[in-house]
Amino acid sequence: MAAVTQRKTEPVVTEFAARVYAATRRIPRGYVSTYKLVAAAIGCRSSRAVGQALRRNPFAPEVPCHRVIASNLGLGGFSGHISGAALIRKRALLRQEGVIFRNGRLADERQMYRF
DNA sequence: TCACTATATCAGC
DNA sequence: GCTGATATAGTGA
Write out which nucleotides of chain C lie closer than 7 A to a protein Cβ: 7-12
pLDDT at A60: 81
Q: Write down the pLDDT at residue A4.
A: 52
Nucleotide nearest to A47 (CA to C1'): B7
Q: Is A65 a catalytic residue?
A: yes
Domain covering A15-97 in this structure, CATH number:
1.10.10.10
Is the minimum distance from the CB of A85 to strand B below 7 Å? no
Q: What is the pLDDT of residue A12?
A: 76
- Per annotation, catalytic residue among A39, A65, A68, A73: A65
Locate the domains of chain A by residue range.
Answer: 15-97
Asked whether strand B has any atom less than 7 Å from the CB of A55, the reply is: yes
DSSP H or E segment with residue A33:
strand A33-34
Neighbours of A100 (CB within 10 A): 11
Residue A13, pLDDT score: 85
Tell if A64 CB is < 7 Å from nucleic strand B: no
- The predicted pLDDT at position A2 comes to 45
User: Tens place of pLDDT for every residue, chain A, 115 residues?
Assistant: 544 554 555 667 899 999 999 999 999 999 999 999 999 999 999 999 999 999 999 898 899 999 999 999 999 999 999 999 999 999 999 999 999 999 889 999 999 999 9
